[in-house]
Amino acid sequence: MPVEVILPKVDMDMSTGRISKWHVAEGQAVRQGELLFEIETDKAAMEIDSPAAGVIRDIVGEENVDIPVGRPVAWIYAEGEAYAPAVAVQSTVPASSGENSGNEGRSTLPPSGPPAISPTRGENSSGAVRATPLARRRARERGLDLSAVRGSGPRGRIVRADVEGAAITPSSPSSPVAENAPSLKLPISPLEGEMVGGPEEGAAAASSDRTLALFEPGSYELAPHDAMRRAIARRLVEAKATVPHFYLTAHCGIDALLRLRADLNATAPGRDGEPAWRLSVNDMVVKALAAALVKVPAANVSWTDEAMVRHRHVDVGIAVSVPGGLITPIVRRAEEKSLSAISNETKALAERARARALRPQEYRGGTTAVSNLGMFGVSEFAAIVNPPHATILAVGAGERRAVVDGDLIRAATMMTVTLSADHRAVDGALAAELLAAFRETIEHPLGLVA
């Protein structure tokens, strides 16, 4: 029997993934452990190796299409094993988007033999359009000709998402399409845990319709959400809805910090013609936050319904902007590391994050986080706590301001920071103590190199 190649679950929160690139072609011989394809998850790109040696056949996992975890995407036949396309088709294949219940997710073949796999449109060997009942209903509602829709489901079956993302091609002159209806609808992809076709989908579809109805048809274009953007939306809505946020703001003088940074960078030893490190203000903020949490360990926690998780080390997430979204790689045990080690590690993590090459252990977990928009000229802002963190520090730009020093007014470089905290885990007085410890460390930075 051929070996199924399935789309594996490479991330804890992953329910679907996209094959960004196949590295083998139909009929190609492969060795066990050889690279087959790359998966684009909501946070990284992962390479998937062959589970067996043989010949790759029936590649049904298309590139750049959402595929549920566990779905077969190809089959590997042993050398000399008879190839029968029907064998691969008869394997258990889940419904493409969970649209149908019962046995529809399994291929049921008539006694006369299996239909051939359609490589393009959602048609079977007799030319009839193959589509799920929900897709047919949505096509009728939109007046869409299914023969003009490319199916992304098993054997080219047309599913709801294909209909939602297709341009309207009227199936008959009497199609019930409003005269001023937009030519496209927002494709709606189910989030993890949602019932497709249930209240959540109806609400999402209604929301899309209401939004597009506000704009003149042809005055916009639609950019479908990728896995990262959907994951960001899901997690931030969950965080704001379930985490009772509160915010504390402090203004920190950083002239001493800037002088120390300049001195440390100027004295960095050379390595292959390059300095061994080049510290940024953000590197020093990460170290200062880690030092503050060591001084106030009661704030270095995570909330669960059963117990408070008190962490022994400070793992600081660094918010990194990447094309299409944001990811937060983790500097582990930041309280134990030198400024140069934090600087070099942060740069390496940021480079891998932008290349979508982070390993799961490099972005999962963490006990707190830093989000710095100072380089964009932002004076101050408030960030959203990202569980399991109980705190996140939002950092603004260093600015020359007039400050009162005793009876005198002088110019100083000030940096505004805002601590967002989960009130379930960190009370107001505790958060104030943490922010005071951070400010003390930033304004007297020699302790960062002790």
Separation in Å, CA 397 to CA 251, 253, 279, 415: 11, 12, 16, 6
Nearest one of 106, 126, 55, 125 to 84, comparing CA atoms: 55
Predicted confidence pLDDT, tens digits, the chain (450 residues): 788 898 888 776 677 888 888 999 988 999 988 889 988 766 667 788 899 999 998 898 888 888 888 889 999 998 888 887 644 444 444 444 444 433 333 333 333 333 333 344 444 444 467 777 667 777 877 778 877 787 776 667 787 777 777 754 444 443 343 344 443 433 333 333 333 344 444 455 556 788 888 999 889 998 888 778 888 888 899 999 999 999 999 999 999 999 999 999 999 888 777 888 899 999 999 999 999 999 999 999 999 999 999 999 999 999 999 888 889 999 999 999 999 999 999 999 999 988 888 888 899 899 999 999 999 999 999 999 999 999 999 999 999 999 999 999 999 999 999 999 999 999 999 999 999 999 999 999 999 997
Of residues 413, 322, 337, 331, the one with CA closest to residue 368: 331
Report the alpha-carbon distance of residue 49 to residue 47 in Å, rounded: 7
Q: Comparing 3-90 with 244-449, is the CATH topology the same?
A: no
* Radius of gyration for the alpha carbons in the chain, expressed in angstroms and rounded: 27
CA–CA distances in Å: residue 408 to residues 109, 402, 444: 88, 10, 21
Q: Report the chain's terminal Cα–Cα distance, integer Å.
A: 64
Q: What is the DSSP letter of 323?
A: T
Q: For the chain, how many residues are written?
A: 450
Separation of alpha carbons 123 and 198, rounded Å: 27
Q: Which candidate, 236, 318, 250, places its Cα nearest to that of 284?
A: 318
Helix and strand element counts for the chain (H, E):
9, 20
27: left (phi over 0), alpha (psi -120 to 50) or beta: left
What pLDDT, on the 0 to 100 scale, is given for residue 43?
64
Q: Into which CATH architecture does domain 3-90 fall?
A: Beta Barrel (2.40)
Residue 40 CA to residue 19 CA, distance in Å, equals 6
Closest to 204 measured CA to CA, from 140, 150, 148, 160: 160
Q: Which residues are within 8 A (CB) of 120 and not within 5 positions of it... i.e. 6 or more apart?
A: 150, 156
**Interatomic CA distance for residues 146 and 382, integer angstroms:** 47
Cα distance between residue 354 and residue 411, in whole Å: 38
Listed in sequence order, the residues at least 6 apart from 153 whose beta carbon sits closer than 8 Å to its beta carbon are 95, 96, 97, 122, 132, 159, 162
Q: Which residues contact 89 (CB under 8 A, 6 or more apart)?
A: 58, 107, 109, 114, 115, 117, 154, 155
Whether domain 244-449 has CATH 3.30.559.10: yes
Characterize 363-391 residue by residue with b for buried, 16 or more Cβ atoms within 10 angstroms of its Cβ, and e for exposed.
bbebbbbbbbbbeeeeebeebbbbebbbb
Output the pLDDT for position 147: 79
Which H helix or E strand runs over 203?
helix 199-212
Give the β-pairing of 308-310 and 316-318: unpaired
| Closest among 169, 184, 187, 186 to 218, alpha carbons compared | 184
245 carries an active-site annotation: no
**In the chain, where the domains are located:** 3-90, 133-232, 244-449
pLDDT of residue 205: 55
Torsion over CA: 229, 230, 234, 235 (sign): negative
Return the H-helix or E-strand segment holding 271. strand 270-271
What is the 8-class DSSP label of residue 334? G
For CA atoms 433, 439, 444, 448, give the dihedral sign.
Answer: positive
Task: Count Cβ atoms below 10 Å from residue 96 Cβ, excluding itself.
Answer: 25
Q: In angstroms, rounded to a whole number, what is the distance separating the alpha carbons of residues 148 and 266?
A: 65
Chain center to CA of 399: 33
Q: What is the pLDDT of residue 117?
A: 38
**133 within 8 A of 100, measured Cβ to Cβ:** yes
Predicted local confidence at residue 328, as pLDDT:
92
- DSSP secondary structure letter of residue 316: E
